[in-house]
Amino acid sequence: MPARPMDPRTRRSRSALESALRELIAERDLSQISVSDITKRAGVNRSTFYEHYTDVHDLAAASCTTVFDELVAASPAAVPQATPDGGPPDNPLPDLFAHVAEHAPLYRALLGDDGSARVINHLLQRMTVTAHIRRSPAPEDPADPADAAGTPHDPAAAFVAGAVLGSVVDWLRHDCPGTPQEMGAALWPLLIGIAAAAGWETERPGSPAAG
């Protein structure tokens, strides 16, 4: 059954609350932001907040979904397929780190020492599910990377997703040293090595490298 359209009033309230949190995150650590801070900035009352979210961490995961989707899309959580001519896959890591650099204050607030374990787990789950789907697509796999229902346990996908996210967190912790291109060039061989060890194909069937 298709999801029911969101009521316009509900959509406005959620949008106001999510925008308020993103503004506040740019000003202070997530741990220093209260529900009252958010509702005051959004211009709504506390009861409206609790109609939609359980707490600040729940709102944080929801309010950053669009940015998270961009990160998941840019992430090589599953090693990309080879190019159409049978060559090795392009390195997506520079784009990933460029995205992180563009949103560094937000990611630092959410993924740093004073961030939210719930948000980190939410993002890691999305990246792991995406890795599994890209690595072994099947009709029973969920179409939405946010939905882990029905996805089998996949340690290799979880390992690669954790390695990618861990590299991002460490880069942010050290104030993003090096350019996105330098980070991508340094880490890409490691990711390819992990993929090969896990038995993931990085060449098109029939290409010289694939045998």
Closest among 164, 178, 146, 130 to 64, alpha carbons compared? 146
Neighbours of 206 (CB within 10 A): 8
Q: What is the pLDDT of residues 163-201, one digit of tens each?
A: 889 999 999 999 999 999 999 999 998 888 877 776 665
How many whole angstroms separate alpha carbon 176 and alpha carbon 101?
Answer: 7
Determine the pLDDT at residue 79: 53
Q: What is the pLDDT of residues 54-104, one digit of tens each?
A: 999 899 888 877 777 777 777 765 455 555 565 566 788 898 899 899 888
Q: Record the pTM.
A: 0.71
Amino acid at position 72, single letter = V
Instruction: Tell me the two tokens of residue 110.
Output: 């959410």
Q: What is the pLDDT of residues 8-37, one digit of tens each?
A: 888 899 999 999 998 998 888 888 999 999
Distance of CA 105 to CAs 27, 100, 111, 120, 199, Å? 9, 9, 10, 15, 36
Q: Is the dihedral of CA 19, 24, 30, 35 positive or negative?
A: negative
Q: Tell whether the model's pLDDT for residue 135 goes beyond 60.
A: yes
Encode burial over 76-104: b for 16+ CB neighbours within 10 A, e otherwise.
bbbbeebeeeeeebebbbbbbbebbeeee
